[in-house]
Amino acid sequence: MDGMEKDYQANDELDRYEHVGLDNESQQELSMNARMQADQEMERQERAKLNMAHRRPGAFNDEELEDDENEILHNEMRRERMRIMMDNNGGEGDQDPDDLQNMLDFEDVKGPLSVWLRKNDVIKFITKQFNAFLRNFKDETGAFVYEDKIHEMCMNNKQSLQVVFTHLSQKNPTLAIWLAEEPALMLPILNDVAIELVGEVYPDYYKIFDNIFVRVKDLPVEDKLRDLRQVHLNALIKIRGVVTKRTGVFPELKQVYYRCMCGDLKGPFFHNSNAFEDNKQYLGQCVACHSDKNYHIESDMCVYRNYQKWTIQETPGSVPAGRVPRQKEVFILNDLVDTARPGDEVEITGIFINRFDYGANVKHGFPVFSTIIEANNVKRFGDENIVELTDEDKQHIRKLAKLPNIA
C-alpha cells in the first residue's frame, strides 16, 4: 500500500475523455409496464436456457447456469407473484402484509423439494392455496370455472375433476411448478381438497364415491416416448401414442391389513405404484406370539382399486425413418380404466416412475430398474368431432328426460 496516494493525483492525459463514441443523448425513464415487459423478456430468455440445459447431457451444461438454476426459478416465482398482485388478479392484492410474507416464506423452498412438501405447514399452505384457486378462478366471461365443473361432475356421477395446468400456472405459479416436479406428493393433497369441496356442495356424495381425483389437463410440454430419460423420473410428463395392448380390469390392493395366526392385526399399509416391495418385511415380530412368519393378508378389511395395464407405442408418423417404434407400459387406475381401446390414439399425462426389475437384474448381472408411466389423465383423439352441448341443449335434454314416455 506504499505510495497509494499517487494514484489520486491529477493527470491531464488520463482525466480527459475523448468526445468520439460518447452518447450525450438524454434517456427517457422507463414506465412500469415497459420495465415489466423488459423483465419478462429476460425471464423468457433465461427459461429457454434452462430448458436447453434440461434436455442435453450434463457434460454440455454451463456450470454457472446450472448453479444459478434454483435461484432463477425462485426469483421468477416471486416476480410472477408480485405481477399478479399488481394486476389485482384473483383478489390477492387485498391480502394482509403478514399473510403475504408467510406466503413468500413457504414458497422459499429450503432443502430438497421432496422433503419440503412433506412438512405439515407446507401441506396446509398448499391446501389453502388450491382451495382458493378452485373457489375463485374465473374465465374471461367472469364465470367461476371450477365451481361449474364440480357441479357438472357431480350431476354426471363422475369421479374426476379436470384442472387445466395453464390456469393453475396463471393463478399460482408456485403450485404449478411443484406439481410438475413432484406430482406423486402433490396430487394426494389436491385430491383431498377436491373431495372436501365436493362434500360442502353435495354432503351425501361420499355415498357414491369416497375419493375425487384431480386430473391435470393441457400440460404445456409434450415429450416423445424415445426422448424419456432420467431427468423425467418422478416428474409430470405428457406423451402421445397408440394403444397396442390392453389387459383386463383387475382389483389392486390399495390399503392392506395383515393378521397373525394368533389373531394380532397390523395395518393399514398403503400400496402405490412407487412401492412394490412386500410389506411383510416391515412387520417385524408379532407382539403376542413373537413369530415373524405367520402373517397373512386379511382380505375382508383390505381396500381395492381398479387396475389396468396398457402398452403405448409411438404413432407411425412420429417414428424417424429406419427406426423401430418405441413402446412403454402405462398403469391405468381407478376410473380411467377402459377409457381407450387398442388402436386408439391417446394423449396421456402421468408420472414417469421406475421400479425394481428382478428379471432384468438376473439377465444383465447388475441392478436394472424398468420405467413405467402411471397415468393421471387420458385424452382420446377422435372425440373432438362430438359437438359440445350448450346450456340450452342440456336444459332441453333434462326436460325431455323427465317425460314418462321418453323411451
Q: Domain map of the chain by residue range?
A: 63-217, 225-249+305-385, 254-304
Query: Taking residues 305-309, what's their average pLDDT?
Result: 89
How far apart CA 324 and CA 77 sit, in angstroms, is 41
Number of alpha helices (DSSP H) and beta strands (DSSP E) in the chain? 13, 10
> What type of residue sits at position 218?
D
Task: Find the mean pLDDT for residues 236-244.
Answer: 91
> Which of 97-101, 135-139, 348-352, 376-380 has the lowest average pLDDT?
97-101
User: In angstroms, rounded to a whole number, what is the distance separating the alpha carbons of residues 171 and 194?
Assistant: 17
Asked whether the beta carbons of 265 and 240 are under 8 A apart, the reply is no
Q: Which amino acid is located at 79 in the chain? A: R
- By mean pLDDT, which of 21-25, 28-32, 45-49, 396-400 is the weakest? 21-25
Q: Tell me the pLDDT band of 243, cut-offs 50, 70 and 90.
A: very high
Q: pLDDT band for position 311 (50/70/90)?
A: very high
Between 132 and 88, name the one with better pLDDT: 132
Is it the case that residue 52 has pLDDT exceeding 70? no
pLDDT digits (tens, 9 = 90+) for 65-104: 444 555 555 555 545 544 544 443 344 444 454 455 556 6
pLDDT at position 213, please?
92
C-beta atoms surrounding 96 within 10 Å: 8
268 upstream amide cis, omega within 30 of 0: yes
**What's the sign of the alpha-carbon dihedral 382, 388, 393, 394?**
positive
Q: Which has more pLDDT, 29 or 381?
A: 381
Give yes or no for a contact between 251 and 197, defined as CB atoms under 8 angstroms apart. Answer: no
Helix then strand then coil, % of the chain, to nearest 5: 45, 20, 35
Is pLDDT at 22 greater than 50 in this prediction?
Answer: yes
CATH 3.40.50.11610 given to domain 63-217: no
pLDDT for res 99: 53
Position with higher pLDDT, 327 vs 385: 327
C-alpha cell at 252: 389392486
Choice among 86-95, 166-175, 176-185, 245-254 with the minimum mean pLDDT: 86-95
Average pLDDT over residues 266-291: 63
Instruction: Say what the pTM is.
Output: 0.65
Residue 244's pLDDT band, with cuts at 50, 70 and 90, is very high
- More confidently predicted of 37 and 247: 247
Burial class (CB in 10 A: 0-12, 13-18, 19+), 324: exposed
- The answer to whether the beta carbons of residues 189 and 123 sit under 8 Å apart is yes
**CB within 8 Å of 189: residues ≥ 6 apart:** 123, 126, 127, 130
At residue 74, the 3 state secondary structure works out as: helix
CATH superfamily of 225-249+305-385: Nucleic acid-binding proteins (2.40.50.140)
Report H helices in 29-119.
32-55, 63-67, 69-86, 97-107, 113-116
Q: For residue 243, what are the β-bridge partners?
A: 312
Weakest mean pLDDT among 12-21, 212-221, 300-309: 12-21
In whole numbers, what is the pLDDT of the chain averaged over residues? 78
Residue 58 has pLDDT above 70, yes or no: no
